[in-house]
Structure 1
Amino acid sequence: MLKDYKIREIPYLRVLGRTNGSLEPVTLFWTASGIEMNIKATEAWVTVRSDYELFEPWADVIVDGALSQRLMVNKGEQKICLFRNMEGDKIRNVKLLRDTPAFPTDEKTLFQILEVQTDGEFCPLEEPKMRLEVIGDSITSGEGGSGAGGEMTWNSFCFNCVDNYAYMAAKELDAIYHCISQSGWGVFCSWEGDEKQAIPPYYEQVCGLLNGERNKELGAFEKWDFQKFQPDVIVVNLGTNDGSGTKDMEKVGNAVEDFLKKLRDCNPESYILWCYGMLGNGIQSTIENAIQNYKTKSGDERVEFVELPDTLEGEFGSRQHPGHPSHEKTAKVLVEKIREIAG
């Protein structure tokens, strides 16, 4: 018989990604945020709540490391089956993730986890071997990961947080990660040159790039407590949009230096990898010079530039964004570099 459990009643639970800290309910703001559990049961469900004006959230159900479902979440409350009709004597690792990124242009955007129903028991989770933070733009948000190769429509469906270099690398490294990414944004400006659409000014907030009174009430604009999650490695993949949004490379370089200072202030012990190159390398020299300038001025040697492999013909997904082969190549480069760092 199924029994209802409020999230706070689950003895072993891992919340993934930045949240407001509440378990009643768990509010998911960013792509790849969610919950993780080990469940020994024949059946398990989760109750969620969703809202939107324009862009519906999508969710991923991952069982024992395999994607079992990817689905659109309807408005209101609904139950999502995590698994059923399974052998009840086996412990299964289950993740429910928000597949879609934050949507600043939709003030009603909402995805919350309310409770879990199961006929079994919750079991302890193994400690991850590593903690990562991944910061980026549409590439890191998984834009282009779903949909046909020729599809150019920008909507919720085109995003995919599992067929994605960040997810692939974390899985290979047995790591958990937080993702801070927004489609079209950069380190200094957006792909259209909007200087307000840059990640660094919002980095110290829970999810400050959202809009609307409800998101304010949910704590999206509150300061993030960095003691809750200190990453071993921070991966920054920004610069692609800046390259098309502005010709003022001095301002881009200054923004890179300033963001590195902020990252170090917030994360004193983290190793920082600034990555770039999946959609061309037009401003690589600007980024590399800025990193070197920062290191020279600060004496901080725990920062490196990593050139990522370009997306070649046949490796694109929808919206002319990197597809699975490209994300897979990038994940391999990152895993190799992070293992080198970890010794």
Structure 2
Amino acid sequence: MVHYLPTEPEILILGRTRKKNPLPLFWTASGLEFRTDGSELWFELESDYESMEEWIRIEVDGFCLQRLIVPKGRSRLCAFRGFPKGTRRTVRLLKEVQPMLDERRYLLVHGLECDGKLYPPLPKKCRIEFVGDSLSAGVGLAGAPSLVDAGAAVYGLDGNYALLTAEYFQADFRILAKCGWGAYCSCDNDLVHIMPKYYEQVCGVLTGEHNRELGAFEENDFSGWQPDLVVINLGSNDGFAVDRPAWTDPETGFSQRMVSCPYGGLEEQSALRFEAAVKDFLKKLRRLNPNACLLWAYGMCEHRMSPYLEAAVRDYRKESGDEKADFLLLPATNPLWVGSENHPGKKEHELAAKVLIERVKEYEI
């Protein structure tokens, strides 16, 4: 058996992280991809958490061979054994759960062992980054519709629209997503829990000194990985906020709430604040990803925010002259397609991926 580090040149590191040994995995679908001709493969991982455990999936040639909870502490996990030696197989290890607000929680890859050689994965044709909320994080894709309030168990990647899209285009991809977070505010009107605020950091949505030591709060190296396409799937939680109480900033006492009109839609000031936040995020994305296509794709849960998103993207294009920014309305989920945690299930993700793929084909990335 030969021991390999996660930073070996033959290994493709998936997801936004710091390239170091051991390798921290912060975001949904972060992990490793490589090929090996060995008959046996083991991963050496380390994990800890207070309440929300880490789940991973191990794929071989596109088939999910294992999906499991990572034990606390340092452990060796067998990916496979007894396979015919000499055949090159593509192996992918993926973290299935989003970054959580748990200062003890982390997942490290110390290395892997196999009785064969490592080879680089087949070349990727493009790079796609997905920025989103629970939909992009895969809430609802693990467990039956009856599974609710089950913690980390409801997060899954099987059938995730982002993975389906990335696989269609043979893309190297990244997912930056947090359940409940929005573009202007979170689902409970919080102005802190928004994705644009932390986009420039490796994984600024985390907290705690240990995550700081792992590099989560460092500035992301955008020059080292430039996407051809950024898909933004935000807005659902901003819309849900109208049904929640106002949020008050504990430091300043400032209070705010998204407000709806009696006849439908948002009242004017709420709409203006939301549209301004969308335009500001598009400006940030363009500054940091100067050559990427920007596609704001929304609608898997409902469509109440679509008029404001469409208006914001249209105004941004007009004001900036940026013709590589677009809006795409995704089909809302059929009630019969609901997965766990009252979230869209696999059929909805598959339909969303089909619609998204057809639009992205036009970009010729």
**Does TM-score exceed 0.5, indicating one fold?**
yes
Task: Supply the distance in 2 between the matched residues of 1:60 and 1:7 (Cα, whole angstroms).
Answer: 16
Measure how far apart 1:7 and its partner are.
2.7
What is the SS of the residue equivalent to 2:210? Answer: helix
Task: Supply the distance in 2 between the matched residues of 1:255 and 1:89 (Cα, whole angstroms).
Answer: 53
Matched residue, 2:333: 311
Measure how far apart 1:121 and its partner are.
0.7
What is the SS of the residue equivalent to 1:314? Answer: helix
Native 8 Å contact 2:53 2:69 kept in 1: yes
| In the alignment, structure 1 residue 149 sits paired with structure 2 residue 145 | yes
Deviations 1:143-163 (A, max 9, x none): 011111122114010001233
After TM superposition, the structure 1 = structure 2 runs for residues 3-18 of structure 1, keeping only pairs within 5 Å, are 3-8=2-7, 10-18=8-16
Matched residue, 1:99: 96
Measure how far apart 1:274 and its partner are.
0.2
Matched residue, 2:213: 217
Native 8 Å contact 1:32 1:179 kept in 2: yes
The one-letter code of the counterpart of 1:188 is: Y
Deviations 1:293-333 (A, max 9, x none): 11111000001100101100211101110100000001111
Deviations 1:134-190 (A, max 9, x none): 000001000011111122114010001233100111111111111110000000111
| In the alignment, structure 1 residue 25 sits paired with structure 2 residue 22 | yes
What is the SS of the residue equivalent to 2:93? Answer: strand
Matched residue, 1:202: 198
Matched residue, 1:52: 49
Native 8 Å contact 2:12 2:120 kept in 1: no
Task: Supply the distance in 2 between the matched residues of 1:208 and 1:124 (Cα, whole angstroms).
Answer: 30
What is the SS of the residue equivalent to 2:42? Answer: strand
Q: 2:360 aligns with which of 323, 332, 338?
A: 338
Q: 2:291 aligns with which of 256, 264, 269?
A: 269
What is the SS of the residue equivalent to 1:294? Answer: helix
Matched residue, 2:278: 256
What is the SS of the residue equivalent to 2:90? Answer: strand
More displaced 10-residue stretch of structure 1: 155-164 or 271-280: 155-164
Q: 2:60 aligns with which of 60, 63, 71?
A: 63
Native 8 Å contact 1:144 1:322 kept in 2: yes
What is the SS of the residue equivalent to 1:342? Answer: coil
Matched residue, 1:167: 163
Measure how far apart 1:33 and its partner are.
0.2
| In the alignment, structure 1 residue 237 sits paired with structure 2 residue 233 | yes
The normalised TM-score by structure 1 is 0.97
Task: Supply the distance in 1 between the matched residues of 2:274 and 2:157 (Cα, whole angstroms).
Answer: 27
Matched residue, 2:250: none
The one-letter code of the counterpart of 1:255 is: A
The one-letter code of the counterpart of 1:47 is: E
Matched residue, 1:323: 345
Measure how far apart 1:237 and its partner are.
0.3
What is the SS of the residue equivalent to 2:296? Answer: strand
Task: Supply the distance in 1 between the matched residues of 2:69 and 2:22 (Cα, whole angstroms).
Answer: 20
Matched residue, 1:302: 324
More displaced 10-residue stretch of structure 1: 121-130 or 31-40: 121-130
| In the alignment, structure 1 residue 289 sits paired with structure 2 residue 322 | no
Native 8 Å contact 2:181 2:194 kept in 1: yes
Measure how far apart 1:244 and its partner are.
1.4
More displaced 10-residue stretch of structure 1: 288-297 or 154-163: 154-163
Native 8 Å contact 1:162 1:168 kept in 2: no
Task: Supply the distance in 2 between the matched residues of 1:120 and 1:11 (Cα, whole angstroms).
Answer: 16
Provide the identity percentage: 40
Task: Supply the distance in 1 between the matched residues of 2:39 and 2:324 (Cα, whole angstroms).
Answer: 47
Native 8 Å contact 1:275 1:305 kept in 2: yes
Q: Which of structure 1's runs of 4+ aligned residues deviate more than 6 A?
A: none
Q: Which runs of 5+ in 1 are unaligned?
A: none
| In the alignment, structure 1 residue 176 sits paired with structure 2 residue 172 | yes
Q: Which runs of 5+ in 2 are unaligned?
A: 242-257, 260-269
Q: 1:86 aligns with which of 80, 83, 88?
A: 83
What is the SS of the residue equivalent to 1:160? Answer: coil
Task: Supply the distance in 2 between the matched residues of 1:153 and 1:44 (Cα, whole angstroms).
Answer: 34
Task: Supply the distance in 2 between the matched residues of 1:176 and 1:130 (Cα, whole angstroms).
Answer: 6
The normalised TM-score by structure 2 is 0.91
Measure how far apart 1:3 and its partner are.
2.1
Deviations 1:194-235 (A, max 9, x none): 111100010000000100010111110110010111111110
The one-letter code of the counterpart of 1:70 is: R
Task: Supply the distance in 2 between the matched residues of 1:319 and 1:220 (Cα, whole angstroms).
Answer: 28
